[in-house]
Structure 1
C-alpha cells in the first residue's frame, strides 16, 4: 500500500486527497504550512467541469449551502455599455451549476471532508516542505520543517509518492526546477476583497467591466442573510503599475486602504451596481501583482509530480485557477488507480493534463474570454450604443467557444460526464 504525501492543504491538495481516497488509496498525508486552516481570502468562481468532479466526490450539496449559483455573466465597457450577457451553469445547458463561493469556505469544506474520511491525522498543519531529493529507486526524500509546538525542527521522510500542491511559490517545483526564480510579473496590480452589501444594491449576476487598461470584477458569494438582507460580494480591480518588489510577488496578504486605489474607478456603475460603493463597504483590501508561471516542459520526475498552481499558475482570467486545480486532483487519482507503477501513473497524468494547461496559461496571458472588453475599447473608446456595430455576435460567440474548448468546460464535453470515474476499488 503506497504512502502518498501531498505538499499543500489548499484547493488542489485537499481535492487530490479526497479523490485518491475515493479511488481506494488509504495512506495519504497532507502537510500544510499553516497550523490551522482559516476561512481567509476572497471569492472563487467554480466552473461546471470542476463542480462535476466535486459532485462525484459527494461534496456538491454541502458546497451549495455555502455558495450561490452563478446564473449569468455580463461584460461591460467602462462607459457602461453592455458588451454581452451569457447564461451560466444550468441555464446554459450544463448538467451541473457554476458556483460562486468564498475561497475559505471551499477550503474548509474540503478540509472537513478529508478529516472525516481519511482521519484527523491525514491533514497535518504547521509543516512545510522545504526540499526534495530524488532517490535511486525514484522515490523522493522530502525535507520538512515543523513550525510549531514540541515538534519544532527539521526532519525528512521518504514517501512512495510526492504530490506538489504547494502553490505558485512551490518548494517542490523549486526542487525539481532549480534556478527558475520569481514568478514573472505582467505589469498589472490587483486589488481584491469582499464586502457586505444590501441585496437590493447588488445584482444577482457576475460582471466584468473595463477598458484596455483597467478592469473590475464583481459577483455575489451568498444568498441574502435572513436577519440583515445583506449578501457577501467578491470584487477585484486591476490596472497597470510601474514596478513592484520581487519579494512581494505571490504574496496575497498585503493589506492596503481602499482610498489608495479607488479613485481610479470613480463613476463606474453597471446596471445599478456601483463599483465604488461595493469596494468602500469592504473591511479589508489586499493588493498584489498579477503573476503566473512559465509553462513547464515537465511536471513529473520519478514518483514526484505537481498539481494546481504549483504546476500551472495562471492569470486570474476565465475562472480557471481553482477550477483546474480541482480537475487536477481527480485526474491524478484516476491515473494512480489505473497504473500499478506510481511513476507510470504520474507520467500518464501529466500526458493528459500538461498540454491543455500550458495552452490555457498562454490563453490567459492573451486575456482569454475577457479580451472582448479590450476589443470593445479599441474599436469604440468613447463607448457605443449598439455592440453589434463594434463586435458582431458571431465574433463574441467564437471567442467564448474557443476558450471553453481550451479549458474543456464547453457544455458538450462537460455533459458527457466525468472521465475520471472509477468502479469501486479495494483499499490500497
Structure 2
C-alpha cells in the first residue's frame, strides 16, 4: 500500500511518521517552496504528547518544549482568581508542552527525512486534482518550480493541507464558509523572563478583551490578545495564520494593563513580529471523504484555538488513520472507519470550543467572573472535549499491534 499525503504541517508530518511506523509507504507533497519555522507558540495537550512519545519523539519534544504546570486565571490587575494544574500535575501520565509551532514542525520534518529518506517531502508541489479509480487514486500535481504537471498514483489520498484545503474544496465544494466568532486575535513571541512558576500560563479576561501568555523556552514568552469586534457570522475577509498585524491596532486595548508579575504593554511592544487572525471555525462536515480520499487536521475540522486543541487533534487524527490502515485489505472501508471515529470526536471538540468561548465572556463584569466561574468553564470543557485524565491513561495504545 502507498499513501499520498497533501500538506507537510504538523498533521501531515505526523501522518507520514505514523504510516511509516505501520509499514505503509508514504509520499508527502507540500505547496510551499520551503518549510520554514513560521508561526508562534502552540500547546500540545497530553493526548497528543502521548502519541508523539509512542512515535519515539519524547526526548526531542522535551528538548524544545516547556512542560506547562498550571493555568492561572487573573483579573487585569494580576489578582489570581483560579489556578488549575496541567499535564503531569493534573494526573496525566504525559506532560502538556508549550512549544514554538515552527520548531515543532521542523522536529517532525527532521524525523520524517531521517526515517523515510531525505526526499520524502516534495516541496513546491501543489495538488490540483484527483480521480478515484476504484482500485486507487490518481492525483494531479503541479511542480511550482517548473509549472509542469505530473500524475502519481496511490492507494489513498489524505488531505492534510490546512484551513484552505484544496482536497476539502474538491471533496466538498459546497462545504460552507468560514465562521467568524467576532473575535480578532493578535499573536506574538517576545524575549522575556518566564513568570510565576516559570512554567505557568496566564489567562486574563476583562470584558470583551482577553490576554493569554506562556513560556515556550529559550527565554521566550508567547502571547495572544483577543478582542471581540463584532457578533458571530460568516467571515467576509481572508484568514491566514501568518498574516501580519500592527501594534497600533492592538496596543490601545492593553496600554493601561498592569498584572504586576508581567508587563503586558512592554511584552506586546517587544515582539519582532505580530500576527493577526480572525478566530474562525467551520461547521462539522457530515462526512470527511469518499472512497479512497479523506481529510485530516484543519482541513477536516478547523476549530477555535480557545481550547489549545487544534494541533493536538491533528496528531491524534494521524495516529488513528495509521491504525485503521495498518494491514487493511479494504482501503475505503478503513478510511471510512477512521473518519467516522474522528469526525464524532472532533465535532465534539469544535462545539466544546464554541461553548467555552461564549461561556468565558457571558458573565457580566462583577457578577460572577470568579474562581468558581472559571473552574466550572474549564471542567465543562474537559469533559465535553474528551480530556479526562483517567480516560486517556487507561486507553489502549493507538500503535498497530
Q: Structure 2-normalised TM-score?
A: 0.93
Change in CA separation of 1:392 and 1:269 when aligned onto 2, cut-off 3 Å: closer
Match of 1:250 in 2: 239
Partners of 1:138 and 1:302 within 8 A in 2:
no
Match of 1:3 in 2: 2
1:270 aligns with 2:267: no
1:49 pairs with one of 22, 43, 47 = 47
Match of 1:405 in 2: 383
1:420 aligns with 2:398: yes
2:229 pairs with one of 222, 241, 244 = 241
Match of 2:318 in 1: 329
Give RMSD over aligned pairs.
2.4
1:216 aligns with 2:203: no
Match of 1:131 in 2: 129
Match of 1:185 in 2: 180
Q: SS in structure 2 opposite 1:273?
A: coil
Q: Could you list the runs of 5+ residues in structure 1 that have no partner in the other structure? A: 224-230, 382-388, 424-428
1:352 aligns with 2:352: no
Cα distance between partner residues in 2 of 1:218 and 1:192: 10
Cα distance between partner residues in 1 of 2:63 and 2:199: 17
1:207 aligns with 2:202: yes
User: How many pairs does the alignment contain?
Assistant: 400
Partners of 2:190 and 2:221 within 8 A in 1:
yes
Which aligned pairs between 1:69-108 and structure 2 lie closer than 5 A?
69-108=67-106
Match of 2:116 in 1: 118
Cα distance between partner residues in 2 of 1:399 and 1:128: 42
Q: SS in structure 2 opposite 1:299?
A: coil
Partners of 1:53 and 1:418 within 8 A in 2:
no
Following superposition, the deviation at residue 414 of structure 1 comes to: 1.6
Match of 1:157 in 2: 152
Partners of 2:194 and 2:220 within 8 A in 1:
no
Partners of 2:44 and 2:312 within 8 A in 1:
yes
Cα distance between partner residues in 1 of 2:142 and 2:208: 42
Cα distance between partner residues in 1 of 2:195 and 2:171: 51
Cα distance between partner residues in 2 of 1:174 and 1:62: 35
Q: SS in structure 1 opposite 2:352?
A: helix
Partners of 1:75 and 1:208 within 8 A in 2:
yes
Match of 2:298 in 1: 309
Cα distance between partner residues in 2 of 1:246 and 1:406: 26
Partners of 2:176 and 2:283 within 8 A in 1:
no
Partners of 2:11 and 2:315 within 8 A in 1:
yes
Partners of 2:207 and 2:365 within 8 A in 1:
no
Match of 1:20 in 2: 19
Q: SS in structure 2 opposite 1:5?
A: strand
1:283 aligns with 2:259: no
Please say which of residues 340-349 and 177-186 is displaced more in the overlay: 177-186
Q: Structure 1-normalised TM-score?
A: 0.87
Partners of 2:352 and 2:385 within 8 A in 1:
no
1:378 aligns with 2:364: yes
Following superposition, the deviation at residue 212 of structure 1 comes to: 4.1
2:284 pairs with one of 275, 281, 295 = 295
Partners of 1:42 and 1:234 within 8 A in 2:
yes
**CA offset digits 1:48-70 (Å, max 9, x no partner):** 01100000000010011111110
Cα distance between partner residues in 1 of 2:386 and 2:350: 14
1:143 pairs with one of 122, 129, 140 = 140
Q: Could you list the runs of 5+ residues in structure 2 that have no partner in the other structure? A: none
Cα distance between partner residues in 2 of 1:139 and 1:45: 36
